[in-house]
Amino acid sequence: MSPLLMKAIIFITSALVFYTIGVWSEKLGGKLKTWHVVIFYLGLICDTLGTHFMMDIAGGIKFNLHGITGALAILLMLFHALWATKVLISGSEEQKEKFHKFSIVVWVIWLVPYILGMLIGMGVI
């Protein structure tokens, strides 16, 4: 396995771990907290780095289902993290308690390119 592929896998998998922990701990806790937002940004950073390495391997972005859903997922993660920051700064307890509904949707959408990439990498599709 090439060092570049190893870096990509480590960062993409780290994104999965961070994002899953952040989203589900927020959901189960019932309220957005500062550490959730930190974890969202860590997931976004790891996903962006992993995607960068994967694009280097692939020779750029591919406009196929995986490439399009991957770009959408990163944009949604960025929007999600920025919105979480805004909700946290606003101090609105109601918003903090409702935020998790959007988090789950973003997490599920993020899983699509993750799973597609895994299947492509294994040669299944």
Mean pLDDT of the chain: 93
What's the sign of the alpha-carbon dihedral 24, 28, 29, 30? positive
- Could you report the per-residue pLDDT of 57-66, keeping only the tens digit for each? 988 888 888 8
Measured CA to CA in angstroms, residue 107 lies from 1, 26, 100 at distances of 28, 12, 10
Q: Containing domain of residue 103, as a range? A: 3-121
3-state helix, strand, coil in the chain (%, to 5): 85, 0, 15
Determine the average pLDDT of the residues in 21-40.
95
With beta carbons less than 8 A apart as the criterion, state whether 87 and 96 touch.
yes
How many domains does the chain fold into? 1
- Could you report the per-residue pLDDT of 71-101, keeping only the tens digit for each? 999 999 999 999 999 999 998 888 888 888 8
Q: What is the model's pLDDT at position 110?
A: 93
